[in-house]
Amino acid sequence: MLNDDLEHARRYHETTKHSEFSVRMSHHYVDWEDRPRPFKVYADLPSIPLPQDFPSPESNPLYCISSSDNNPGIEKQEPYNKRQGTLLNIDSLAEILFFSAGITRKIKHGSDTYYMRAASATGALYPIELYIVSGAMPGLNAGVYHFCPADFSLDSIRTGDHTNYLEAAFGEQSKSGLASATGATSPIAIVFTSVAWRNAWKYSLRSYRHWFWDAGVIAANLLAVTSSMQIHSKLRLGFIDSAIDQLLCLENEKEATVAIATLDSGTTSMHGVDGNKKKQNVNLQKIESKHTPILPLSRKEYDLPQIWNVHRASALTSAEQVMAWIGSYYHSKPARKAAEQKDGGNDEGAEMRSYQLSLQNLKSEDGAGPIQRAQISSLGDVILQRGSTRQFARTAISFDQLSTILWCSTRGVPLDFLKTGDSLIDIYFVANAVDDLKPGGYFFDRSNCILRQLGRSGQKGDGIDELAARYDAAYLCLEQQLFGDAAVVFFLMANLDEVLQSLGNRGYRCAQFEAGVIAGKLYLASYAMGIGASGSTFYDDAVTEYFSPHASTKDTMVAVGVGYPAYQAHKGKRLTGILAKDQLISMYSTGTHGTA
């Protein structure tokens, strides 16, 4: 079984590490004249326009960002949800899709137009596509659909209810309907796929990592939006890869499924939809094969077999394998909390100073979480304000802001292979300018809500000065001054050897994806606090060395800098239906990326 041959994931990770030498000696050439087009266009499939007058998430953003299965009952606290009891229908689906992956900004740069989305993407290339697998719901027939943000429509891939097929691909044939997998009363799933070339054009082999970062930040938006609607969401990485790819009619070794979100309204009245219908056993081999041609992304594409090799090596191929894999993290590994406490309390002799997070100062009188400090009042406004900061002012953020961002981003991610409260990801950061916090490196002990100060590159001491910290942060992020100017730079790290031993090669996907979700939460929490954020790549081994010996067994998954922007960022808009389908077809046939 390839998933158990761990050499595949470890070899890929080592091969794609950045270092001063690898970056300067890279022979990868970016052909800017052949930049992939940003939308997947099915020219011959019928499209269903989505409504454009959908509601906006008006809930308190910090509640929504921090909410997960780890926070039962949080929806009872006002002003968490102002709508009370959202039903899944075409209007609520439009709201989820727009605030997760819709177009919020149109930017001209030279002769090109960039259509920026609700969630960030590396290089603004947007390799992640969303598909919907749904039973019948008010306003939408059962079917398999592709979401096109350009004309804000659903392309019809397959008609009919395929939720039983989806459930079988989850390895759950013994249960009754997709509803049973989530407690759902309306069977619906949103599938995240990656168009490989769209990101590989610029980032080459390392772009496989970006599949999971870019899907993760969209998932963070989706979790927050569905939380505001009191729709419970679960993120799944346990599925039969080939079955889902075939259901969506994906072209082999061009696009692949990354993750799946299953949604549950928690509402029993679904206008005639029976969420507990009797399920028929499904033969995954008998689904009709369909050819659904798309317009080409570029004049030419180059194959990167190394990416597809590691992806195949982490595939699950049977229902039995899926079900065994989902429980594998706990069959071979002690509880995460015990491991985290060990990490937090033992730095092999290095002296550490601890800072208790000031969350008690953020709580309301009734004991709720840090809900009163958001600078932007609603989740919808936070998402429209969110961008990727291109220049940070060298301005300090407050300790309360840092505390709130950390707390809200680490309440847990509802993943199918993890129990409530567990995580594969540890958070380290370089503090450049935080009031009442010495500059330098830190580890966030989430179990005890404590920051543990680490010496520079493992050295003992009381920290370093601000200029040294800024130099370190910039250097670690491929010597980019942007991150030297940030107030804080977070590095999301995992004990990759431990993860692979527990979850096989597929654990590599899991660690990268969960890091992407947490990165998305860091983005949203930062903007809710009135500051900005930007993601970064990094010198892999240099980051590990910087935080060692504490982080000596860990690999960096992704980095995020936060701080005040050095400019006034304009709020985004609802740019639904900004391009009609015939405009998209014309845009592709003329070789342009945008409109004049």
Instruction: For 126-180, write each residue's pLDDT tens digit.
Output: 999 999 999 999 999 999 999 999 999 999 999 999 999 999 999 875 444 444 4
Question: Do 182 and 257 sit in the same domain of this protein?
Answer: yes
- Is 508 inside a domain boundary? yes
Q: 214-239 as b/e, with b when 16 or more CB fall inside 10 Å? A: bbbbbbbbbbbbbbbbbbbbbbbbbb
pLDDT of residue 70: 38
Q: Are residues 285 and 433 in the same domain?
A: no
* Ranges 149-163, 202-216, 266-280, 318-332: which has the least confidence: 266-280
Mark whether 319 and 394 lie in a shared domain: no
Q: Please count the helices (runs of H) and the strands (runs of E) in the chain.
A: 21, 16
Q: Name the band, by pLDDT with cuts 50, 70 and 90, for residue 1.
A: low
- Identity of the amino acid at 210: H
Q: Quote the longest CA-to-CA distance of the chain.
A: 66
* Same domain assignment for residues 426 and 302: no
Are 190 and 296 in a shared domain?
yes
What's the confidence (pLDDT) of residue 593? 57
pLDDT beyond 70 at 367: no
Residues 82, 146, single domain; the answer is yes
Within 410-517, strands assigned E span 426-431, 440-445, 450-454, 488-494
Q: Rounded distance, CA 262 to CA 270, Å?
A: 16
Residue 366 has pLDDT above 50, yes or no: no
Q: Which of 169-183, 325-339, 571-585 has the lowest mean pLDDT?
A: 169-183
Q: Name the amino acid, one letter, at 567.
A: Y
Nearest to 319 by CA among 243, 395, 384: 243
Which contiguous run of DSSP H or E holds residue 200? Answer: helix 196-203
Residues 338 and 190 in one domain: no
Arithmetic mean of pLDDT, 367-389 = 80
Task: In whole angstroms, give the CA distance from residue 227 to residue 81.
Answer: 9
Identify whether 549 is preceded by a cis peptide bond (ω within 30 of 0). Answer: yes
Q: How far apart are CA 491 and CA 425, in angstroms?
A: 10
Give how far the C-alpha of residue 146 lies from the chain's centroid of Cα atoms, to the nearest Å.
19
Residue 576 counted as domain residue: no
Higher pLDDT, 189 or 352: 189
User: Is this model's pTM higher than 0.75 or not?
Assistant: yes
Are 214 and 352 in a shared domain? no
279 or 288, which is more confident?
288
Assess whether 286 and 348 both reside in one domain.
no
Tens digit of each residue's pLDDT (9 = 90 or more) over 77-96: 444 445 555 678 999 999 99
- Is residue 580 pLDDT above 60, yes or no? yes
Token digits for 453?
Answer: 């100060």
Residue 390: what pLDDT? 95
pLDDT of residue 76: 41
Q: Select the more confidently predicted residue: 367 or 575.
A: 575
Q: Which of 197, 86, 195, 177 is nearest to 133 (CA)?
A: 177
Q: What is the pLDDT of residue 372?
A: 52
**CA–CA separation, 145 and 121 (whole Å):** 22
Give residue 267's pLDDT: 46
Burial 26-49 (b: 16+ CB within 10 A, else e): eeeeeeeeebbbbbbbbeebebee
Lowest-confidence region among 66-80, 165-179, 301-315, 324-338: 66-80
Query: What CATH number has the domain bearing residue 451?
Result: 3.40.109.10
pLDDT of residue 85: 54
Confidence at residue 587, expressed as pLDDT on a 0 to 100 scale: 80
Residue written as tokens 């137009």? 113
Q: Read off the amino acid at residue 511.
A: A
Flag the least confident range among 297-311, 349-363, 441-455. 349-363
On whether both 341 and 209 belong to a single domain, the answer is no
> Of 60, 55, 63, nearest to 95 (Cα)?
55
Residue 350, pLDDT score = 45
- Tell whether 10 is covered by a domain: no
Residue 7 confidence (pLDDT) above 60: yes
Q: Which of 160-174, 222-236, 574-588 has the highest mean pLDDT?
A: 222-236
* Helix (H) or strand (E) run with residue 476 in it: helix 466-476
Please give the residue range of the domain that contains residue 53: 29-269+280-326
- Give me the phi and psi of 172, to 5 degrees please: -120, 45
Cα 419 to chain centroid, rounded: 19
Query: In DSSP terms, which residues pair with 437 in a beta bridge?
Result: 434
Phi, psi of 495, rounded to the nearest 5 degrees: -80, 90
Residue 1 counted as domain residue: no
Residue 361 lies in a domain: no
Q: Are residues 345 and 291 in the same domain?
A: no
CB-based burial, 347-380: b 16+ in 10 Å, e otherwise:
beebebeebebbeeebeeeeebbbbebbebebbb
Average pLDDT value for residue range 303-311: 95
580 lies in some domain: no
Q: Among 45-49, 326-330, 507-511, whose mean pLDDT is lowest?
A: 326-330
pLDDT band at 279 (very low <50, low <70, confident <90, very high): low
Q: Which of 115-129, 179-193, 280-294 has the lowest mean pLDDT?
A: 179-193
Q: Do 85 and 186 belong to one domain? A: yes
Give 137's DSSP letter.
Answer: B
- The pLDDT assigned to 45 comes to 94
Distance between CA atoms of 373 and 450, rounded to whole angstroms? 20
Tens-digit pLDDT profile for residues 450-484 = 899 997 654 445 668 999 999 999 999 999 999 99
What is the overall mean pLDDT for the chain? Answer: 86
| Structural domains of the chain, count | 2
